[in-house]
Structure 1
Amino acid sequence: MTDALRHDPSAPVLITGGYGTVGAEIARMVAPGAPILLTGRTPERGRALAAETGAEVRAWDLGAAAPFRADARAVVNAVNDPEDRVLRAAVEGGVPYVDITRWTARMQRAVTVATLLGPTAPVLLSSAWMGGVSSLVAASLAADLGGAEQVEIAVRWDMADRSGADSVEFMDRLGVGFEVVDGGRRRIAGPLTEARTVVIGGAPVRVARIDTPEQFTLPLTLATSTAATRIGFSSPAATRALLALRGTGFFHWAGGERWAPARRALLHSPGEGGTAQLRIDVSHGGRSRTATVTDARGQGHLTAVGAFLGLHRVLGTDGAAPPQGVVFPEQHPDPVAAAARLADHGVRVELDRAGTGAAA
């Protein structure tokens, strides 16, 4: 027996990982307008959130053999799905699907899996930074410029913020080189290399390269010839420490499963809450635009906003017809209007049309 989801427009929105740090934020956004089904390994952990949102909560352990069956209006996957169980069940059941949890290699595999299965409902792979917010804002700037020859994204990670274990899984990739497009040519970039200082929200932040899905998708969707995402931290000492660890080779020799808790503990924090900030620079035809995205409610909330906008996208409830087949967040037919909806959730997007204060 295998997992089975069946599409039913009157059924709940299924949120896998629905009572984790990000999943709980998504549930609170969805709850006022639709019934919800929350799933995870330990349903008892979701009881309080279920009572708060009126959701049903059930067990679906993606690491166990027990199959899962349910009717769903749509699926938002907010937990790592290493064997593509949620993806396969949604596609085979014709259920609109949003995924916000995959690093680049796993997203590439998801594209292949979903395409081979022949989806009849939308499959939105929205694992770009913060649930696809980075790609969506980049697309909105590209729409203003008439294209996006170069996209530079700089992330400020707030060390005081709340984060779930899955949120810092990118730490597992810091010993693995990744393919990027630079000047129209593909090459392998090293994690935490090519460091530079960028002004984000009025403050200088030292940032360095990491592997993120938008560096793969933007050259395919927006014909971007250079796409780069870098990350830095609210604590300059933390940035220096990570760069120093990279210099010692720590992320190479400590790359196995045995060292995963130690790697993730460097950033994983139950936190009291912090501010999410990222900067997107887009250049095209000799002109540039810059946007700084700020969410005072933190990184988990901003990621949930990206997922929530993605849910409306696959349901066709955001003013545009739902997409067909496999798509990425920057492929919205009206990215300017879609990005403007970030403000509905308390997310501020500040535009610098002159593109001043560029990365150096």
Structure 2
Amino acid sequence: MVNDELVHDAAGPVLLVGGYGTVGAELARAVSGRWPLLLAGRSPEKAAGLCAEISAEGSAEARRWDLASPEPFGASVRAVVSLVNDPDDRVLRAALAGGIPYVDVTRWTARMQRAITLTSLASPSAPVLLSSGWMGGVVPLVATALADRLGGLDTLDTAIRYDLSDRAGVDSVEFMDRLGVDFEILQSGHPTVVTPLTSPRTLPIGPHRTKVARIDTPEQFTLPLTLNPHTVSTRLGFSNPTSTTTLLTLAKSGFFRRTRSPRWRPLRHRLLYSPGEGGTAILRIEAQGPGGSLTATVTDPLGQAHMTAMGGLLGLRRVLGEDGAPAARAGVVFPESHPLPGTVLGALSDLGVSTSLADTPSQAAA
């Protein structure tokens, strides 16, 4: 195992691993001027322009940390945000060993479950915020705000409109590349195994009617543990109806099950990853609770990378105690465990992520 060493320094920089990628650069710009930054990645020379931009109002340095290389990394930092795929948990292990507040916005469900186990076994002395629910934890953050307004949460149904013209980082395809693997959700109080891209619905998401179908996302695992609903479901569809239909047809034919082996990965990735120059991220989140039902439409005109980064920024504030409440406790925490749920929608709005609420009957039954 590589001997990476991170040392906690309450006056040191915030370490963004992958801090000059598509999401990382958005977060770096948002953090600039608040805390000094250390941007780490495989090719730090690519961060020169970003560092110069940030240095106009703060300070930023870029250093090499290739998670696939045996070369060790060391730094003294106040907090860590992981914005890249970390298959060997190097970033997490180093943060745990150094007792450093940690935020992760990149893990899919199985990787999150592994991180929970690893963190628990390590007896952590700092918070480990696993904020990989859709878009940097924005869905679970809105869920806790809705639960607060409704006096609890009975059901939560999320529908995502994925804008194909939007920018996307290279790691985003890894998050989605499990369309041949069944996953578990909580439905009517019972753990239920479902298949990706099944149970389609056509729903109004913002100004668009969009066909959506099941997809595995971490909040379907964490929300039943934290907010105690009896049903949680998440569905996704593309802005181009033809792309959605093609994906559903491939899934129904068994294509993704037959091509699960690594040798088919390049083909799967070509199907799932074709980033554009920019688009709008829109989510529809329907909640029912003791106080009735609410539908939240969450919109970021700057796109999914920006929304993810803003979720990461709120996570960073949470672990550092910079959001009006004491810092999160040591150990595993999730975005929906926010101690001030009534402030969440306002905090997102201040960062450019708007939420409109309507009292409407739920249409996205599990």
* 2:164 and 2:275 in contact (8 A); partners too: no
3-state SS of paired residue (1:346): coil
Aligned position for 1:149: 154
Aligned position for 1:3: 4
Kindly indicate whether residue 121 of structure 2 is the aligned counterpart of residue 120 of structure 1: no
Q: Deviations over 1:128-159 (max 9, x none)?
A: 00000000001100011111110101100000
3-state SS of paired residue (1:193): coil
Aligned position for 2:65: 60
Q: Which stretches of structure 1, 4 residues or more, deviate above 6 A after TM superposition?
A: none
Aligned position for 1:247: 252
Aligned position for 2:107: 102
Aligned position for 2:195: 190
Q: Deviations over 1:36-72 (max 9, x none)?
A: 0011111122222122113111111111111111011
* TM-fit CA distance, 1:266: 2.3
Q: Deviations over 1:91-148 (max 9, x none)?
A: 1101100000000010001001011111111110000000000000011000111111
Aligned position for 1:328: 334
Whole-Å separation in 2 of the counterparts to 1:195 and 1:80:
29
Aligned position for 1:33: 34
The partner residue of 2:82 within 70, 77, 83 is: 77
* 1:6 and 1:93 in contact (8 A); partners too: yes
Aligned position for 2:276: 271
Distance change (3 Å), C-alpha of 1:136 and 1:53: same
* 1:174 and 1:192 in contact (8 A); partners too: yes
Whole-Å separation in 1 of the counterparts to 2:272 and 2:346:
31
* 1:172 and 1:255 in contact (8 A); partners too: no
TM-score by length of structure 2 reads 0.96
Q: Deviations over 1:153-191 (max 9, x none)?
A: 110000000111111223321000001110000121100
Kindly indicate whether residue 216 of structure 2 is the aligned counterpart of residue 211 of structure 1: yes
Greater shift after overlay, 50-59 or 99-108? 50-59
* 1:199 and 1:357 in contact (8 A); partners too: no
Whole-Å separation in 2 of the counterparts to 1:212 and 1:290:
20
* 2:293 and 2:362 in contact (8 A); partners too: no
* TM-fit CA distance, 1:258: 2.2
* TM-fit CA distance, 1:286: 6.9
Whole-Å separation in 1 of the counterparts to 2:91 and 2:180:
28
Whole-Å separation in 1 of the counterparts to 2:343 and 2:296:
15
Aligned position for 1:49: 50
Aligned position for 2:166: 161
* 2:3 and 2:72 in contact (8 A); partners too: yes
* 1:171 and 1:263 in contact (8 A); partners too: no
Q: Which one-letter code corresponds to 1:12 in the other structure?
A: P
Distance change (3 Å), C-alpha of 1:357 and 1:285: closer
Aligned position for 2:357: 351
Kindly indicate whether residue 93 of structure 2 is the aligned counterpart of residue 88 of structure 1: yes
Kindly indicate whether residue 290 of structure 2 is the aligned counterpart of residue 285 of structure 1: yes
* TM-fit CA distance, 1:356: 4.4
Distance change (3 Å), C-alpha of 1:203 and 1:95: same
Aligned position for 2:347: 341
Aligned position for 1:233: 238
Whole-Å separation in 2 of the counterparts to 1:345 and 1:235:
28
* 2:300 and 2:307 in contact (8 A); partners too: yes
TM-score by length of structure 1 reads 0.97
Kindly indicate whether residue 13 of structure 2 is the aligned counterpart of residue 12 of structure 1: yes
Structure 2: gaps of 5 or more residues: none
Whole-Å separation in 2 of the counterparts to 1:67 and 1:78:
19
3-state SS of paired residue (1:240): helix
Greater shift after overlay, 192-201 or 41-50? 41-50
Whole-Å separation in 2 of the counterparts to 1:228 and 1:258:
31
* 1:164 and 1:269 in contact (8 A); partners too: no
* 1:277 and 1:294 in contact (8 A); partners too: yes
Aligned position for 1:173: 178
* TM-fit CA distance, 1:357: 6.8
* TM-fit CA distance, 1:270: 3.8
Whole-Å separation in 1 of the counterparts to 2:339 and 2:162:
30
* 1:161 and 1:269 in contact (8 A); partners too: no
* TM-fit CA distance, 1:257: 2.2
**Equivalence map 1:286-305=2 (5 Å):** 287-305=292-310
3-state SS of paired residue (1:173): coil
Q: Deviations over 1:295-348 (max 9, x none)?
A: 000000000000000000000000011111210000001122023111111111
3-state SS of paired residue (1:131): helix
